[in-house]
Structure 1
Amino acid sequence: MTDAVDVVIVASAFGMDAVRTHGHLKWAGASKAAGATGFEVRRELFADEADAAPQALRALGEQIAELGLWSVYSTPASLYTTDGKLDADALRVSIEEAIALGARFVKLQLGGFGSVAKAAVIADYLRCAEVRLVVENGQLAQGGSLTQFIGLFDALKREGHADLLGMTFDIGNWAWRDVAPLDAAGPLAAHVEYIHCKTTVGEGARRFPAAPAPDDAQFAAVLDKLPRHVPRGIEFPFDANRIDADAAHYVAWLAAA
């Protein structure tokens, strides 16, 4: 029998409107009750910009920690601009906010990475930060390309900072780029430090995140290809009519999958 892994519930799994209306703390409590070990705070789901102020983040982080959970701080900001330059301001702000929250990970989108990582600059920003930077494959062509991610980690190694940051491997997001997640898992597995778990239903503009089926062989194969010890985040929507039961069911299932 394999050891259970940490399971994180992403705030959006409870419904974006529900999080904006009731705040993150309510759903962090629901995550703890469901058996999760971590909770992902989503900056875009703050009801007000004041929620991202240092004192507000610090208070939220302390309350999450009091529940016995560790946190991920997710921001929609991109590490690189559309023309391939490092967005140092976005990186700095994201790190500062994540530190205020007390997060274990700060997660950004990759954005328009081209060929130069500016690893030394990123390293300077991270030097005194007790938070791990991870970048996620997104749904858009820019920031969701397998070639881009391979290029990023090659560039970091070339620039002398091979382990500077990690990857959030979003299994479902590859569908928006018509990439089989198993094909992406092979070349990227060594860099994966956090997994967003979901599949998709529908096509094109009508594609939506969904819970993996218990007998989804492809999903199971992807998990087998990725590191077993890294946290797994639930990023698919729970059934609004049975949120607590749904959350508990999927936490237990994903921890043992």
Structure 2
Amino acid sequence: PMDTGGKIRTGKILEQLSRKAELTVISNVESPKDDPYLPEMSRLCRKFIPVPWKETERYNLKFYLKIAAQSLSRYPISVLNDYSPALEQAVLEELQRENYDLAICDFLQSTLNFRRVKNIPQLLFQHNVEATITQRHLMNAKDPVSKVFWGLQHRKMMAHEGSMCRRFDATIAVSEKDKERMEEWFSASHVFDIPTGVDTDFFKPAEGVREKKQLVFTGSMDWLPNEDAMIYFVDKIFPLIKQAEP
């Protein structure tokens, strides 16, 4: 469902692209959780290929053992978590079966599934500069174990993200600042920004409803950068708003 920032952005882009091109979407699907939303895909693309997927349950012994094992890899853990042999194979088979003009990899975390994709222009859609996030984790790490862990993750993310930004034929950033950072940090060329917008047809005052001085944040609060952003907003920005509008 389009219930978090990244999914809303992807869904809206599919919505607009489908008016101009024939789209095929290949995606992990976790049943039964995702089943109610699958019919919606017929509105967003010509062809949808679901790939069965089961997310690892978090914060139990198996979860931490998996992290320990993944820490030995040269890839960042967040990238390893989104690698699926079945998804990679589905992508390769579809590209062999049909002729396409462009292959789009949505999110850096999905890039391992594109390792064997060849002979077609490839576009990477970057929803963040992921190395910025690992850098901030490292800067805010309190104990020695966390500092070592995030130091390694940041180094791996810098290497992988830079490699992918240079490997793909072009990269899409979601802001001018992200575009500039990819060019500066990774020496990436062919980076283009598509700023994240707001659906003003949906987010607008309802007619006949008395307007109140209220603010709404619709982002996902189970993502640390959003939590950080709201703390910053309340601490630094909201007092200025209250000064102007007591």
Shorter-chain TM-score above 0.5:
no
If you compute each CA radius of gyration, which structure gives the higher value, 1 or 2? Answer: 2
Return the structure number with greater helix share: 2
* TM-score scaled by length of structure 2: 0.35
Return the structure number with greater strand share: 1
* TM-score scaled by length of structure 1: 0.34
